Amino acid sequence: MRNTIFHKESLENFKFLITGGAGFIGSNLVQYLLKHNAGLVRIVDNLSNGSRANIAPFQLYKNRFEFIEGDISDLATCKEAVKDIDFISHQAALGSVPRSIKDPIATNKANIDGFLNMLFAAKDAKCLKKMVYAASSSTYGDSKVMPKVEGTEGRPLSPYAVTKLVNELYAEVFSNVYNLHSIGLRYFNIYGPKQDPNNPYAAVVPLFIDAALKKERPKIFGNGTTARDFTYVENAVQANIKGMLNGRTLEQHEVVNIACGKQTSLLQIWEQLRQMENINLTPVFLEERAGDIKLSLASIKKAEELIGYYPEVHFKEGLKYTLDHAK
C-alpha cells in the first residue's frame, strides 16, 4: 500500500481485533495498523480462506501482534478474542456467490452463525469503543435503482446475499436491544494485492491479472458488459480505520457503501490490462453464472458524511498497483 495516513490520533494506546485477519482485506488492514504503531493487533482466523503467508511478516511485531487460530463459529473463541479490545473489524466470512450456491450450509454457518457469535461476544466486551463489519453490495439484490443508495435494497439473488442481509438485520437488532452500535461497510468488488488468483472462487481482477501475466486468454461469464464499481483495497482499509475511529460518536447502527462511485466493465478491465502488458489476446466468453449481478454502481455520499470516507485510489491506478505487485 501507499503511505497515506487515514487517522488523526495516535493508535499506540488502542487494541484492535481483526477477524479474518489472514485473508485478503483483513491482512491489508492489519498491515496498516501495525505500520502505524497500533498498541496491539489481534487476529482470529481459521485459515480456510486466509493464509499463513499473509501474516508471516507480522511476526516481526512480536509485542504488538497476536494470532488466534480459531473459528468464529465457536462462541468461546469469539469471547477470548474480544478480551481487552478497543476496536473490532469483523472481516471473517465465506465470500463468493458461486461458492454459496454450491454450499449454502457452510456459507450460512460462517456468515450468520459466526457473525452472531461475534455480536454476542462484542456486546459484553467492556473496553469496546466501536465495531465495524464487512457488509456487501450483494444486499442490493435485484434492485434496479442506480446508483445504489442505502435504503433501496431489493431481494437477494444468492445464498451469500441472504447471509449478508441477515448480518445487517442482526446488527440493527443488537443496536436497538443491547446498545451495540456497529457500522456495516457495504463493499463493492474490492480488489488489490494479496487477493489469491488460485482460489477456486477467485474474483475477476486477480484472474485477469494472472491471465495477462501468463499471456493467456481470460474467461468471461457473459458478454463482458457486466460492469461493477470496483474498489481498490486501500479504500476499504481507509473505510475500516475511519469507521472505527470516526464512527465512535454514532449512537445507532449504520450501513454505508464503500466504493468509488464509478463503473468499469469486464471488457474495459481486460483492455486496460492488455495495454499495460502489451498483449493482443481476446477473452473466452462463457455462459452467464446464476446469482451474478449485472450492473453495480454506488453512491458514497453517506459514507462521506458519516465517517469521512473518500476513495483516494481509483480504478486504473489501483489496477496498476495490483498488477505491479503480482509481478
Nearest partner of 186 among 123, 129, 141, judged by Cα: 141
Type of residue at 89: S
- The C-alpha cell at 190 is 474490492
Residue 160 makes CB contacts below 8 A (sequence gap 6+) with 94, 95, 96, 97, 99, 100, 101, 107, 111, 136, 138, 291
Q: Annotated catalytic, 160?
A: yes
- The C-alpha cell at 232 is 481498490
Type of residue at 282: T
What's the CA gap between 280 and 66, in Å, rounded?
47
Type of residue at 116: L
**Bond into 57 cis (ω within 30):** no
- The catalytically annotated residue of 160, 187, 232, 309 is 160
Q: Which CA distances in Å does 169 have to 8, 17, 112, 173, 235?
A: 32, 22, 11, 6, 25
Active-site positions read 160
